[in-house]
Structure 1
Amino acid sequence: MEFAKGLVSKSVELGYQGFSAIDENTHIADDMYIIPYVIKQAVVHASNVARGRVSYWYIFEKAVFNYPNKLALVYPRVNPGHTGDDAYILEKYTFQELYDIILRLSEILAHRYGVKENDTIGIDATNKPIFIFLWYALWNLGATPAFINFNTIGNPLVHSIKVANISQVFIEPDAAGPIKETQDDITKELPNVQLHFLNEDELLQEILDPNSLKFRPTTRRSQDHDWGTAALIYTSGTTGLPKPAIMSWRKAGLGSSLYGHIVRIKPESIVFTSMPLYHSTAAVLGVCTTFNQAAAVALSPKFSASKLWTQVKLTKATHLQYVGEVCRYLLNSPIHPDEKNHNLQVAYGNGLRRDIWKEFKDRFGIDAIGEFYAATESPIALTSFQKGDYGIGACRNYGKLINYILSYQQTLIKMDPEDSSIEYRNSKGFCERTKAGESGELIMKLFWAKNPETVFQGYLGNKKETESKIIRNVFKKGDAWFRSGDLLKSDSNGLYFFVDRLGDTFRWKSENVSATEVENQFFDKINEISQVVVVGVRIPNHEGRAGSAVIELKPNTIKSKDEILKEIYNSLKQELPKYAIPIFIEFVDKIRESDNHKIPKKQYRDQKLPKGENGDKVIYWLNKGKYEELTQNDWDDITNGKIKL
């Protein structure tokens, strides 16, 4: 810690004015806002671990006891047939009211449905208070909630239930469509799984009744480690099927507390989120982070660029959660009368592009951006709280003191020049750190190399995929590091910037899309296909990458391409969520392979739309449920935002 001691000594020597001059280069004032809080919360967390109180339930309960009459949850429920401010009826719950509702629902779950400690229970619900009621009631009972993506259908849905060993699924009416379509398959393959299609109105009436019984166990999972499973949140990957990533108690409790402090959430704050609750962004960094600070959650039914600002105004939100696509959609939308008529001070999330960062803040009158880098299963979390002009575009923005401390835990490693998904190894067999401005994979040191699960819990029941995220013998023999699977780069000030994702997973419509999963559906459903490659392609002025499929047909195929395209869409929409269905399709005579029979996907990932490099390709695009030839006019309308994909 010689670096830190030198800074303190220098600041004392120069006095306050001198310290200010130093801080302009070191940003140590920001570090000193964070470090004491980290130390304090680490002590609190250690005390909770020692007392067998690792469950987040106790954090929520503390907020209830300290702030019983303070607003905890506000929900702008749609008011049919009305417009403007009258388009919503605000449902409001104080911490005490929310607590009592959860205790009443706990009684129902325990004694009507037989839910007990250590059960894994599926929640299949849209963004409604009932999602949070179910979630926290399960935590109260010591059960493990599994947040099912309500878009999932068919075999991926069956797999999601099976792999997590779910015994019961509670289904909210607006999320029931896909699971009803898959019900026969679930019943056939998983006959012991109970599916409960809830009558939301009747259930709400019962749990809002002050005379209903309440259920409050004396302890909850007292034997759990802090790296134990708090909840399961599904993520897709190169295996082709959803994987239940383990959200640990440490991440739900300590992690959310630290992030709430960094983005300046206080008890008087109201955090607005329209992100889906089945994702960790809304669940951990939204709800858990907010309740951890005894603040209120403003839960939107779903994201709508035309309705968001009215909801933000009505809920009196001070913080807005986003993903990068949301920011772009809002900027491309017409001026809204409420877009500056609000109480917002901070917008926080991930994926805000550097080129629209300042425009986003200026147009909507937002003082600060809290950008972060994380993943559901990842033990790494990079944060940036950005005001003024310094740090625009960065997902890690600390002062030199924290950067110095983190240098022992986080770094970027060089990648193979021939294949950016493989780490570079020097003549001694070890990796090398990148230089400033050079892209590399972000990795995090696992200090207990023989017991990595204490830091990285990985995926439930999938040891192979969990181990694939760990890289060993990195800088010395025997060490172990977590692989983020993403390329980042740093600058001379130690700021980190996101570059791109590695491998076959790409991001579209705020969702991770598994190329392998989509490819498998092509092979399973379309007999005429000999080979298919699915990649994510960039579209100007759009966030993420849109799905693109390159198809090689079997010889002597009789069906026309129009018939095959129609069959493709009709088949894929039954098995894949909308965001995973490829936007673009190209037929080729032969998919090129390397001499070791691998397909170098870069050749298709970087193709030029709409007609290819020479202007002679025929590429089809998905237009209102039908694939049709992509013309230059279509492409212009897509890139200019006249057509929404």
Structure 2
Amino acid sequence: MSGLEIAVAALLGTQLLEAKHHVKEDAKMIGHAISKAIPFLYSAAKGKVSYWYYFESTALKKPNNLAICFPRPREDKSKLVKDEQGYPIYDNQFVMESYTYKELYDMVLRLSYILKFDYGVTAEQNIVVSCTNKPLFIILWMALWNIGAVPAFLNFNTKGKPLLHCLKVVNGTQLFIDPECADPIKETEDLIYSELPNFKLHYINEPELMRVLQNPSIPKHRAPDHTRRPQDTDSSCSLLIYTSGTTGMPKSAIMSWRKVALASFMFGYIMKIKANSNVLTAMPLYHSTAAVLGVCPSIYVGGCVSISQKFSATSFWTQAKLCNATHIQYVGEVCRYLLNSKPHPDQQRHNVTIAYGNGLRRDIWLEFKRRFNIKYIGEFYASTESPVATTNFQAGEFGVGACRKYGSFLNLFFTLSQAIVKMDPNDSNVIWRDPKTGFAVSAKPDEPGEMLMRVINPKNVEGTFQGYYGNKKATSSKIIRDVFKKGDAYFRSGDLLKLDEDGMLYFVDRLGDTFRWKSENVAATEVENELMGSGVIKQSVVVGVQVPDHEGRAGFAVIDPIDELNTTDHHPEILKKIYDHASKSLPRYAMPQFIKISSDIKIQHNHKVPKQQFKNQKLPKGENGNELIYWLHNDRYEELTEDAWKQITSGKAKL
């Protein structure tokens, strides 16, 4: 063999090795992580762990870069006009707003002055924010970080007792309210003031406040560094994000400074977010996906965050075009909504090359890329409270459907820090342990199991998993010990995943009582409790059921009525009372979409209801075809007929 042939063979061998093991990609990622982690840890040791310093640095170094783009919906929407081909023109439905980093920084400092000197906000307080997607959200957020206060991002759909609970559980002192979020708060005012007489509610006059914040004569306040919680470490709380978890009322997950930093310099690096990037999110900013994985990485590098106030499949690509977005965020439902929408020229008139999020189904993955000319998909797996996230930055056709795709080196790292373990075949919520050793067993390739994440120091769990604010019981319930050896500790994800022979990870399903619907986690226990409050039920069971061509699981309630109403003639009365009561306290997405009235709810010896039997409910009429089931149609429950079911599954009737 000649020298040239040997060189060619060596080159081909190297390329094949790289294609299989991605050594260069892993090396670059590891090198980037080290180069960013060392300065972060050094700053943390010096008392400057807050993300505020990243924001300020970007604003001072790149003052003229565009920071925020906002297509604000017109209040007096003009009548839709059509182009020559008959397609609606959505451009005139929005008034475009944009702010440079200099303008944003100045507005943040002016609002900081107002918050500190007019409202008495200090670094010792936890401040609740109820705000829709708009620049005001980010200005409030950064102003609180400037002062050193901890923001708690409220789901603005929350009302009644769950709202009161959210204020209590974070030891909040004040709530700042966007005018478009005011109704649920006003409905709950009496309850808030009776339970929390010292709590302060502030209804913001947004147009007036935005004028004030852009007035150069208004004083600014840049808090001294020594007042910005310099005692914080990398595991200290940066902000609080509510999550329903698996049972009961919403829990407030602690987002550590470390997670915010990792999202900024690692997640953003993986998703190719750069100074010239423009990330459009229509996901609620009160969720970690939009806030921590959308806003933080963009600001860190000096890119632009484009905020869609509310997701709309019809105008989404128009907004992407108007904002000049390069990236879009999604949850699985969003991708399917967009695919189901009518074709529009703007779906090809945008500059988006990267779509990232979680929950994009394998069956529509490639179709989504092709139709909307998306080059890369960035699918990730994480939860608000989980210590570690995984990613799959996918191009071409390899890796479709996976939520983790790395090279051999990083796969080895994740093998040491994560595990997929076998579940008890008789109870899918219980981890199976080997009777001989008492330890858990790793699932085989392509065998679903619960994802566990290793706690680095089992004697200091909070160093890895910060848990839920003010809820030690819920925090400890997420930790399992003695998994593979005596004394170890792991975080329980509560999710079923599977690993293939190539080391790629795939999401399978959620464990427990929580299910996702309309991009929200729904806690079944919370819904059951509200149904019981109607006064017409002895027992209720709520699960999530699958509906063809719908992402997530829709709420399905089985209710056992009180004896005096236990006849079919009383069904209209029961359903009306359930709706009237539950709709006042539950957000729309948490309302049961289907209800079956039945006296056949069995209680186990441990006083638990075996819910698995209901999760596979066959719609619309049950296995035998003669069950009577109702569905939520507009503002009332109606019989789920075969015709209604066809309307739902075809997309003509909306759940």
Give the TM-score taking structure 2 as reference length.
0.95
Matched, 1:218 2:224: yes
- Amino acid paired to 2:594: F
**Aligned-partner Cα distance in 2 for 1:366–1:344:** 7
Structure 1 unaligned spans of 5+: 1-10
Partner of 2:162: 156
Partner of 1:4: none
- Amino acid paired to 2:506: F
Partner of 1:535: 543
Contact 1:238–1:517, Cα closer than 8 Å, also in 2: no
- Amino acid paired to 1:569: Y
- Amino acid paired to 2:416: Y
Matched, 1:564 2:574: yes
**Aligned-partner Cα distance in 1 for 2:162–2:536:** 23
Partner of 1:37: 32
Matches within 5 A, 1:450-489: 450-489=459-498
Q: What is the Cα deviation at residue 49 of structure 1?
A: 1.2
Matched, 1:24 2:19: yes
**Aligned-partner Cα distance in 1 for 2:497–2:346:** 36
**Aligned-partner Cα distance in 1 for 2:265–2:148:** 21
Contact 1:57–1:140, Cα closer than 8 Å, also in 2: yes
**Aligned-partner Cα distance in 2 for 1:545–1:30:** 37
**Root mean square deviation of aligned Cα:** 1.4
After superposition, the C-alpha distances for 1:577-602 in whole angstroms (9 at most, x for unaligned) are 00000000001122123344432111
Matches within 5 A, 1:36-185: 36-79=31-74, 80-82=76-78, 83=80, 84-185=90-191
Partner of 2:602: 592
Partner of 1:619: 629
Contact 2:247–2:513, Cα closer than 8 Å, also in 1: no
Which SS does the other structure have where 2:503 is aligned? coil
Which SS does the other structure have where 1:506 is aligned? strand
**Aligned-partner Cα distance in 1 for 2:271–2:296:** 14
Matched, 1:256 2:264: yes
**Aligned-partner Cα distance in 2 for 1:355–1:90:** 36
**Aligned-partner Cα distance in 1 for 2:493–2:617:** 26
Give the count of matched residue pairs.
Answer: 634
Structure 2 unaligned spans of 5+: 1-5, 81-89
- Amino acid paired to 1:487: L
Contact 1:71–1:93, Cα closer than 8 Å, also in 2: yes
> Structure 1 pair 138/515, CA: closer, same or farther in 2 (3 Å)?
same
- Amino acid paired to 1:188: S
Contact 2:247–2:514, Cα closer than 8 Å, also in 1: no
Which SS does the other structure have where 1:182 is aligned? helix
**Aligned-partner Cα distance in 1 for 2:129–2:265:** 24
**Aligned-partner Cα distance in 1 for 2:271–2:202:** 38
Matched, 1:628 2:638: yes
**Aligned-partner Cα distance in 2 for 1:565–1:531:** 14
Which SS does the other structure have where 1:551 is aligned? strand
Q: What is the Cα deviation at residue 237 of structure 1?
A: 2.4
Which SS does the other structure have where 1:398 is aligned? coil
**Aligned-partner Cα distance in 2 for 1:352–1:477:** 38
Partner of 2:85: none
Moved more, 296-305 or 61-70: 61-70
- Amino acid paired to 1:422: V
**Aligned-partner Cα distance in 2 for 1:478–1:113:** 48
Matched, 1:271 2:266: no
Q: What is the Cα deviation at residue 238 of structure 1?
A: 3.2
Partner of 1:236: 244
Which SS does the other structure have where 1:407 is aligned? helix
Contact 2:452–2:490, Cα closer than 8 Å, also in 1: yes
**Aligned-partner Cα distance in 2 for 1:505–1:315:** 35
Which SS does the other structure have where 1:38 is aligned? helix
Contact 1:45–1:254, Cα closer than 8 Å, also in 2: no
Q: Give the one of 501, 523, 537 matched to 1:514.
A: 523
Q: What is the Cα deviation at residue 471 of structure 1?
A: 0.5
Matched, 1:335 2:325: no
Using the aligned pairs only, state the percent identity: 54
After superposition, the C-alpha distances for 1:311-363 in whole angstroms (9 at most, x for unaligned) are 00000000000000000100011001200110001000000000000000000
After superposition, the C-alpha distances for 1:454-495 in whole angstroms (9 at most, x for unaligned) are 110000010010000001000000000010000000111000
Q: Give the one of 289, 301, 304 matched to 1:296.
A: 304
Matched, 1:609 2:604: no
Q: Give the one of 373, 377, 385 matched to 2:381.
A: 373
Q: Give the one of 444, 448, 456 matched to 1:439.
A: 448
- Amino acid paired to 2:219: L
**Aligned-partner Cα distance in 2 for 1:139–1:589:** 53
**Aligned-partner Cα distance in 1 for 2:197–2:542:** 34
Partner of 1:280: 288
After superposition, the C-alpha distances for 1:212-242 in whole angstroms (9 at most, x for unaligned) are 1000012121110111110010000233111
**Aligned-partner Cα distance in 2 for 1:312–1:245:** 31
Q: Give the one of 414, 422, 429 matched to 2:438.
A: 429
Which SS does the other structure have where 1:286 is aligned? helix
Q: What is the Cα deviation at residue 556 of structure 1?
A: 2.6
**Aligned-partner Cα distance in 1 for 2:429–2:600:** 25
